[in-house]
Amino acid sequence: MIASEGEQVSGDAAVEVVWEPSAEDLTEGRVPLWWTVGPAGELGVLFVDRGKLRQSPYVKGWVGWTPESVCDGLLVTRHADGSMQRQAIGAIPTGTSHIAFLPDARLVLVEGRVPRGEPGSWPPNAMVLSAEGEQQVAFCIGDDIDVAVTDRGGSIWTAYGDEGIYGGHPQSAAGLAGWGDRGQVVWAPGGRLPEWPLAGFAAATERDQVWLAWYSSSREGHTFLTRIVPLTGEVTSWRSPVRSPDGLAVRGDRAILTRRHHNKRSTEVFRAELVDDAWTVTDRREVAVPGRVVMRCGQGRDGFLWLRTGDVWLRIEA
Q: What is the average per-residue pLDDT within 61-69?
A: 95
Q: What percent of the chain has pLDDT over 90?
A: 92
- DSSP tag of 182: T
- Looking at residue 194, its pLDDT comes to 97
Q: What is the average per-residue pLDDT within 166-188?
A: 96
- Looking at residue 13, its pLDDT comes to 53
**Pairwise CA distance, residues 303 & 105, whole Å:** 22
Q: What is the average per-residue pLDDT within 51-80?
A: 95
CB–CB of 287/266 below 8 Å?
A: yes
- Looking at residue 14, its pLDDT comes to 83
Partnered with residue 127 across adjacent β-strands are: 109, 138
- Looking at residue 121, its pLDDT comes to 84
- Looking at residue 212, its pLDDT comes to 98
- Looking at residue 60, its pLDDT comes to 92
Residue-wise pLDDT tens digits, 301-311 = 999 999 999 99
**Structure confidence at residue 120 as a pLDDT band (50, 70, 90):** confident
Partnered with residue 96 across adjacent β-strands are: 111
CB–CB of 177/185 below 8 Å?
A: yes
Residue-wise pLDDT tens digits, 126-140 = 999 999 999 999 999
CB–CB of 158/179 below 8 Å?
A: yes
Q: What is the average per-residue pLDDT within 86-115?
A: 96
**Pairwise CA distance, residues 314 & 267, whole Å:** 12
Distances from the Cα of 106 to the Cα of 127, 185, 193, 231, angstroms:
10, 19, 31, 21
Tell me the pLDDT of the chain averaged across its residues.
94
Q: What is the average per-residue pLDDT within 188-212?
A: 97
Secondary element (H or E) of residue 67: strand 65-67
**Pairwise CA distance, residues 268 & 42, whole Å:** 25
Question: For 52, phi and psi rounded to 5 degrees?
Answer: -100, 10
Q: What is the average per-residue pLDDT within 34-60?
A: 95
Residue-wise pLDDT tens digits, 221-278 = 999 999 999 999 999 999 999 999 999 999 999 999 999 999 999 999 999 999 999 9
**Structure confidence at residue 11 as a pLDDT band (50, 70, 90):** low
The gap from C-alpha 311 to its chain's centroid, in whole angstroms, comes to 16
- DSSP tag of 165: H
**Pairwise CA distance, residues 15 & 316, whole Å:** 5
Q: Are strands 12-19 and 312-317 parallel, antiparallel or unpaired?
A: antiparallel
Q: Which of these, 142, 134, 277, 120, lies nearest to 197 by C-alpha position?
A: 142
Q: Which of these, 142, 93, 137, 135, lies nearest to 114 by C-alpha position?
A: 142
- Looking at residue 144, its pLDDT comes to 97
**Pairwise CA distance, residues 103 & 78, whole Å:** 16
- Looking at residue 175, its pLDDT comes to 98
**Pairwise CA distance, residues 107 & 117, whole Å:** 25
Q: Are strands 304-309 and 8-9 parallel, antiparallel or unpaired?
A: unpaired
**Structure confidence at residue 1 as a pLDDT band (50, 70, 90):** very low
Question: Length of the chain in residues, anyone?
Answer: 318
Amino acid (1-letter code) at residue 231: L
